[in-house]
Amino acid sequence: MTSPADKKRLVIERVSGEGASAPPANDRLIKSDFHFEDDLAPNPERALRPAGVLVPIFEREHDLTVLLTRRADHLESHSGQVAFPGGKMHHEDETPLAAALRETREEVGVGERHIDLVGALDPYETGTGFVIHPFVGFVAEGVELTLDPGEVAEAFEVPFSFLMDPANHRLEKTFWRGKMREFYEMPYKGQRIWGATAAMLVNFYTRLYGT
């Protein structure tokens, strides 16, 4: 069994430096919500609003874990969905990374000084008109979460070994925009990790392990 330290070294090796902006050389990279549908392929000319999310990783005794949140049920958009901490850029954010760090602080109470940033994963385009920039960072040991109830219903950790196991990357289907569409889903202990969040985790797997 690979130790947490070995997994951390692999993440740093494959995500940091020049590799942080280079997509993996295989066809499993998922670029958008429309990855499986040629008729809905994103128009490269359309203007997308930038957003940034953080993939926060904790070093636990037996495994790395990834922190995810469940959005508050009263929110107008994506209520109750599982997501990474983060969101769209505001006027004070100079970059998607700044938005990711600000939103992480606001949503779960983890400030930038507690995050050891590693690098970026591949951007992901959503059907709602955003291009999400995911960033990977290790969270300092002993940090206590402070959730904003206006944004987050709960936060939970998922073992890295579960998320990076392709056996848990399930392809599901739903009827959307006139036809059946495929998407990734990773159910975990009653939590539904799906859509863009699951796709970005599959991309993370692809970055680390290829095909």
Query: Which CATH number characterizes residue 190's domain?
Result: 3.90.79.10
**What tens digit of pLDDT does each residue of 89-145 get?**
999 999 999 999 999 999 999 999 999 999 999 999 888 889 999 999 999 999 999
Residue 142, classed as helix, strand or coil, is coil
Cα–Cα distance, 46 to 29 (Å, whole number): 21
Q: Residue 79: pLDDT above 50?
A: no
**Residue in this structure with the two tokens 């995500």, named with its chain if needed:** 15
Segment 154-182 shows an average pLDDT of 87
**What tens digit of pLDDT does each residue of 10-60 get?**
999 999 865 444 544 555 688 888 776 655 555 666 688 999 999 999 999
Specify the higher pLDDT residue, 11 or 77. 11
Which residues sit opposite 187 in a β-bridge? 192
Helix (H) or strand (E) holding 196: helix 195-209
The number of folded domains in the chain is: 1
For residues 83 and 126, the answer to whether their CB atoms sit within 8 Å is no
Give the closest residue to 117 by CA, choosing from 140, 95, 99, 94: 140
* pLDDT band with cut points at 50, 70 and 90 for residue 67: very high
**Residue in this structure with the two tokens 């740093």, named with its chain if needed:** 12
pLDDT of residue 144: 94
* Residues spanned by the domain of 95: 4-209
Cβ partners under 8 Å of residue 57, min gap 6: 8, 11, 64, 65, 66, 67, 136, 137, 138, 139, 160
